[in-house]
Amino acid sequence: MTTFIEKQSFTKNLVFLITMPLVVGLTIFFGIKTVTTPGMEASGDIIIPIVLLLAVFATLSLGNLKTIVNGDGFQFKMFPFHFRQKTISWNEIENIEMIEYQPIRDYGGWGIRLKNFSFKHIAYNVSGTKGILISLKNGKKVMIGSQKVSDDLLSEWKKCLA
């Protein structure tokens, strides 16, 4: 079996779209608060929001999804949320299919997401609109975002299910 490896990161546009409204909102909020509150020190009150904002920015900038498919099955790790690689072995899988999805409509955005707030359908995605939908024998589904899977690879993987 051919080993498949894919590493994806959050797109810079997504990082910008999420962090910029936070920066503007915090700046306006703390700017108004310091102007309207006599004797208030702006530097002390704004430290915590700035640290939180930097943490969100770092998480999105450094976050990535690494997927490996080999003879053992599917392994994936979503940094910085997973400390260890998660594995789905071939004998746990009932079906695999390629899907196109809309991240916001279908899963509520990017990252580790629950479809319809159910732990029976979990998505791991950082960018794009294509993914591998893995149906497990226990009734659960896992969608792993992937922009590089071909029909040939999918056919090769399906042979491992038998």
Inter-residue contact 34 to 43 (CB < 8 Å)? no
Spans of all domains in the chain:
9-61, 67-159
pLDDT in tens, 4-52: 999 998 876 666 666 777 777 776 776 655 445 555 555 556 666 777 7
Taking residue 65's Cβ as centre, other Cβ atoms within 10 Å add up to 25
pLDDT in tens, 92-109: 999 999 999 999 899 988
Higher pLDDT, 159 or 57: 159
| Cα 146 to Cα 155: distance, rounded to the nearest angstrom | 16
| Cα 68 to Cα 66: distance, rounded to the nearest angstrom | 7
Angle among Cα 87, 79, 70 to the nearest 5 degrees reads 30
| Cα 48 to Cα 93: distance, rounded to the nearest angstrom | 45
Is the overall model pTM greater than 0.85, yes or no?
A: no
The pLDDT value recorded for residue 129 is 93
pLDDT in tens, 95-150: 999 999 999 899 988 889 988 788 899 999 998 899 999 999 999 999 999 999 99
**DSSP state letter for 71:** T
* φ, ψ at 27 (rounded to 5°): -65, -45
pLDDT in tens, 67-97: 999 999 999 999 888 889 999 999 999 999 9
Is the four-CA dihedral 45, 46, 51, 55 of positive or negative sign? positive
Q: What percent of the chain has pLDDT over 70?
A: 82
The pLDDT value recorded for residue 97 is 96
58 has pLDDT over 80: no
